Amino acid sequence: MSIKFERVDVSLKKQVIDAMRKAIVEGSFVPGQKLVERELCQWFDVSRSLMREVLQQLEAEALITIVPFRGPMVSEIQLDEAKSIYAVRQALEALAGAGCAQFASESDIAALQTNLALIAQCQGAADQKALVNAKNEFYNVLLNACGNPVVKEILTGLNNRINSLRRLSMGQPGRLTDTVHELQEIIDAIRNRDAQLASRLCAEHVGKAANIALQVMAKQTEEVSSTKDVATHQ
């Protein structure tokens, strides 16, 4: 595998960071996966020194963890950390929804509607990459139109970190149908310039997604713990 880039205005380092980030967000690199520096250099056709700078940036974004004596791996989110991230995301998305109701242009609202249609088309699809990309693009429009660059910056980072959890919640039976309905209500509130309603609906949407993802995570944690207990007593 070899991934090469044109030497254009965007620096090579930024291109590699963006490509690595996208691979993690889309799930091509999965949580807990060990990343071999030599292989990464070959794949991206870059030097080891540049790749180390890339990994340092992704570590700063909490997308990878550099483990002493073991090297880099894709970060895994634990249950307590997930609860904290969802709580912060819920508060910030409420702000983003309110801001979007105040500042979004008609073209922004049309873009939200277009991206929601793409999300709806993903129902029943085996590959979740298209769904994740459509959901991310929906949020890109929402955050660009909310009028608050700080909210945009923080939420973009949080959403990048929890894409594995979003896939977990959206993969539950019936969740995508509910998601489409919830996002349509948010768009309608934004179109009607009802900032208070848009804020509440955004918070409720995140709360519902959080409940599902955290329940699945808690169940998985219990199953892992039980397996370890059995192994210990054998």
Half-sphere exposure of 128 (CA within 13 A, CB side): 16
Q: What is the pLDDT of residues 25-42, one digit of tens each?
A: 888 898 899 999 999 999
Per-residue pLDDT, 187: 98
Q: What is the pLDDT of residues 51-81, one digit of tens each?
A: 999 999 999 999 999 998 889 999 988 889 9
Q: How far is CA 1 from CA 39, 43, 64, 172, 211, in A?
A: 9, 5, 21, 33, 39
Query: Which amino acid is present at 46?
Result: V
Specify the higher pLDDT residue, 214 or 108. 108
Per-residue pLDDT, 220: 76
> Residue 54 burial by CB count (10 A; 0-12/13-18/19+): exposed, middle or buried?
buried
Specify the higher pLDDT residue, 167 or 83. 83
- Spatial contact of 183 and 138, defined as CB atoms under 8 Å apart: yes
User: If DSSP codes are grouped into helix, strand and coil, which group holds residue 66?
Assistant: strand
Indicate whether this model's pTM tops 0.75. Answer: yes
Distance CA 74, CA 230 (A): 28
Q: Which domains does the chain have, with CATH numbers?
A: 12-74 (1.10.10.10), 79-222 (1.20.120.530)
* Strand bridging mode 71-74 / 64-67: antiparallel
> Over 60: is that where the pLDDT of 171 sits?
yes
> Over 70: is that where the pLDDT of 229 sits?
no
Per-residue pLDDT, 133: 84
Per-residue pLDDT, 234: 57
Q: What is the pLDDT of residues 76-131, one digit of tens each?
A: 888 899 999 999 999 999 999 999 999 999 999 999 999 999 999 987 766 677 88
- Spatial contact of 146 and 190, defined as CB atoms under 8 Å apart: no
Specify the higher pLDDT residue, 110 or 8. 110
User: If DSSP codes are grouped into helix, strand and coil, which group holds residue 35?
Assistant: coil
Distance CA 57, CA 35 (A): 15
In which residue are the tokens 């979007």 written? Answer: 100
Q: What is the pLDDT of residues 173-210, one digit of tens each?
A: 788 899 999 999 999 999 999 999 999 999 999 999 89
Q: How many CB atoms lie within 10 A of CB 136?
A: 18
Task: State the DSSP code for 27.
Answer: T
Per-residue pLDDT, 90: 96
Per-residue pLDDT, 2: 58
